[in-house]
Chain A
Amino acid sequence: MKSAVVQLPGLNRDRDMIAALTKISGKAPVTIWQTETDIPDVDLIVIPGGFSYGDYLRCGAIAARMPVMQAIKAKAEAGVKVLGVCNGFQILVEAGLLPGALMRNASLKFVCKEIQLEVVNANTDFSRAYEQGQIIRCPVAHHDGNYFADAETLKTIEGNGQVVFRYAAGTNPNGSINDIAGIVNEKGNVLGMMPHPENLIEAAHGGADGRGLFASALDVIAA
């Protein structure tokens, strides 16, 4: 499985993401710069977290309109897996690859802590390594992670099983509607999530609960 990590001005979680992908797949991902329109042949494209373009206008709004996103959109339509974490999730919703929007945290505060996630759909390319209903630990660090979708969209994504991760009872850090922490598109090949699984993949991190997501996406689940 070949992977790629997108690098844009202001993204700062790219190194963590590169380390996680390298450690879990055994192969370093290629990196894609903002001006690239010709994306190499890979199985997984990751948009990491950070503050692309200084979060100007709306988080992810400027990045979503860069040429590289048109290229990523085309890859996603062709079935390539795309993972957006934190700012990457915000970019994916702004680009229209995922439904809904991410708004300012209900508390108005930046939250940086560990929460718990419930795997509510373990039948996706990004969550197969987990058990249905499993509760995993995961760090969050964001100011605008308050997921919102109108009633009709919400009904659709809930009905289709597009909600993959929910904040476990009592740990919703941002006011997200229905405790939504991560969703996939209808086809199931694009996942966006606010928490940072790449920061909990080995003993040095104090746990490895995030590893299952990469093992699923990179198709390296231990038998």
Chain B
Amino acid sequence: MINARVTVTLKNGVLDPQGKAIEGALGALGFDSIGHVRQGKVFDLQIETADKAKAEADLKAMCEKLLANTVIENYAISIA
């Protein structure tokens, strides 16, 4: 079995009102050093195979077809 983590983030140039709100809240908590905040999503997936190359190909297809909306989001795959 392969454990994988997929991280989905908004593309540059896509407005992220939730990230902005978090940025504001962190500033309000006194974290003066806070710069830009962008919110994203993390998926932990277990792939029932020993074939790393196949898992990687499957994960890429999963991201393209469902996990990310590639109109507005980028994704990154890491395999443990």
> Which B residues lie within 8 Å of A103 (CB)?
14-15, 17, 72
Does B79 touch A at the CB level, under 8 Å?
Answer: no
B66 and A65 contact, CB distance less than 8 A: yes
Set B15, B21, B66, B72: member contacting A175, Cβ < 8 A? B15
Q: Which residue of A lies closest to B43 (CB)?
A: A57
Interface contacts (Cβ under 8 Å), in number, total 38
B71 and A101 contact, CB distance less than 8 A: yes
> Which A residues lie within 8 Å of B36 (CB)?
none
Does A2 touch B at the CB level, under 8 Å?
Answer: no
> Which B residues lie within 8 Å of A104 (CB)?
17-18
Set B14, B21, B65, B72: member contacting A65, Cβ < 8 A? B65
Give the size of the chain B interface in residues (CB under 8 angstroms): 12
Nearest-neighbour CB distance to chain B for A33, whole angstroms, equals: 22
> Which B residues lie within 8 Å of A65 (CB)?
65-66
Nearest-neighbour CB distance to chain A for B53, whole angstroms, equals: 25
Q: Which residue of A lies closest to B10 (CB)?
A: A103
Do A100 and B71 contact each other (CB < 8 Å), given the known contacts A65-B65, A108-B21?
Answer: yes
A65-B65, A103-B72, A105-B17 known, 20 other contacts, Cβ within 8 Å = A57-B67, A58-B69, A61-B66, A61-B69, A65-B66, A99-B71, A101-B72, A103-B15, A103-B17, A104-B18, A106-B17, A107-B17, A108-B18, A108-B21, A146-B15, A146-B17, A148-B72, A149-B71, A150-B13, A150-B71
A-B pairs with lowest CB-CB distance, top 4: A101-B71, A101-B72, A106-B17, A108-B17
Q: Measuring CB to CB, which residues of chain B are less than 8 angstroms from any residue of chain A?
A: 13-15, 17-18, 21, 65-67, 69, 71-72
Q: Measuring CB to CB, which residues of chain A are less than 8 angstroms from any residue of chain B?
A: 57-58, 61, 65, 93-94, 99-101, 103-108, 146, 148-150, 175
